[in-house]
A and B are shown apart, each in its own frame.
Chain A
Amino acid sequence: MLKLTCFQLPLYMPNQTYDAIVVGSGISGGWAAKELTERGLKVLLLERGENIEHITGYTDALKAPWQLPHRGKITNQVREEQVAATQSKFIHEAGSSFWVKESESPYVQTKPFDWVRGYHVGGRSLMWGRQSYRWSPADFEANLKDSIGVDWPIRYEDIAPWYNYVEGFAGISGSLEGLPQLPDGNFLPPMELNCVEKDVAARIRSHYADSRRLIIGRVANLTTSHNGRPNCQYRSKCDLGCPFGAYFSTQSSTLPAALKTGNLTLRPLSIVTQILYDRDSKKATGVEVLDTETKLTTTFNAKIIFLCASSMNSAWILMQSACNIWPNGLGSSSGELGHNIMDHHYRVGASGHVEGFKDLYLYGRRANGFYIPRFRNLNGDKRDYIRGFAYQGSASRSGWQRDVAELGIGIELKESLNEPGAWEIGMNGFGEVLPRHSNKITVSKTKQDKWGLPVLDFDCALSDNEMRMRKDMIADAVEMLEIAGVTQVKPRSDPYALGMGIHEMGPARMGRDPKTSVLNKHNQVWDAQNVFVTDGACMASSACVNPSLTYMALTARAADFAVESLKKGDL
Chain B
Amino acid sequence: MNSKINSFNEVISRKEAIQRAVLLMGGMIIGAHTLLRAEVSAPMHSYNFTDLDIELLDEIADIIIPATNIPGAKAVNSGAFISMVVKDCYSAEEARIFSEGLNQFSELCVKSQGKSFLSCSAAERIEIITQLDKENKRHKLKARPAAPPHYFGMIKELTLLSYYTSEVGATQALRYMEVPGYFNGSFPYKKGDRAWCV
Task: Give residues in A with beta carbon < 8 Å to B.
Answer: 62, 64-66, 68-77, 79-80, 83, 86-87, 89-90, 92, 109, 112, 129-131, 191-195, 197-198, 217, 219, 233-239, 346-347, 349-351, 358-369, 391-394, 396-397, 399-401, 403-406, 408-411, 413-415, 417-421, 424-428, 430, 490-492, 494-495, 497, 501-502, 546
Chain B 9-36 interface mask (CB, 8 Å, partner A; 1/0):
0000111111111111111111111111
**Given contacts A86-B38, A347-B35, A192 and B27 within 8 Å (CB-CB):** no
Chain B 135-172 interface mask (CB, 8 Å, partner A; 1/0):
01100100000000000000010001110111100100
A77–B44 Cα distance when bound, in Å, is: 8
A192–B184 Cα distance when bound, in Å, is: 8
B167 adjacent to A349 (CB under 8 Å): no
Query: Max chain A CB contacts within 10 Å: which of B30, B63, B180?
Result: B30
- B194 interface hit (Cβ, 8 Å): yes
Closest B residue by C-beta to A235: B179
- B103 interface hit (Cβ, 8 Å): no
Q: Which residues of A contact B66 (CB under 8 A)?
A: 410-411, 414
Interface residues of B in 55-113 (CB under 8 A from A): 63-66, 68, 72, 81, 84-85, 88-91
**Given contacts A130-B26, A369-B25, A400-B164, A491 and B32 within 8 Å (CB-CB):** yes
Q: Which residues of A contact B156 (CB under 8 A)?
A: 404, 409
A72 adjacent to B186 (CB under 8 Å): no
Q: Which residues of B contact A365 (CB under 8 A)?
A: 24, 180, 183, 196, 198
Q: Which residues of A contact B34 (CB under 8 A)?
A: 494
Closest A residue by C-beta to B166: A66
A479–B59 Cα distance when bound, in Å, is: 47
Pairs A–B under 8 Å by Cβ, sample size 27:
A64-B178, A65-B170, A66-B167, A69-B84, A71-B161, A72-B20, A73-B13, A73-B161, A76-B88, A89-B16, A90-B23, A233-B180, A349-B29, A363-B180, A364-B177, A364-B183, A365-B180, A367-B25, A409-B130, A411-B66, A411-B68, A414-B72, A417-B195, A421-B195, A426-B22, A426-B28, A495-B37
Task: Give residues in B with beta carbon < 8 Å to A.
Answer: 1-3, 13-45, 63-66, 68, 72, 81, 84-85, 88-91, 126, 129-130, 133, 136-137, 140, 156, 160-162, 164-167, 170, 173-174, 176-198
Query: Max chain A CB contacts within 10 Å: which of B20, B27, B174?
Result: B27
Q: Which residues of A contact B39 (CB under 8 A)?
A: 79
A89 adjacent to B65 (CB under 8 Å): no
Closest A residue by C-beta to B189: A361
B20 adjacent to A366 (CB under 8 Å): no
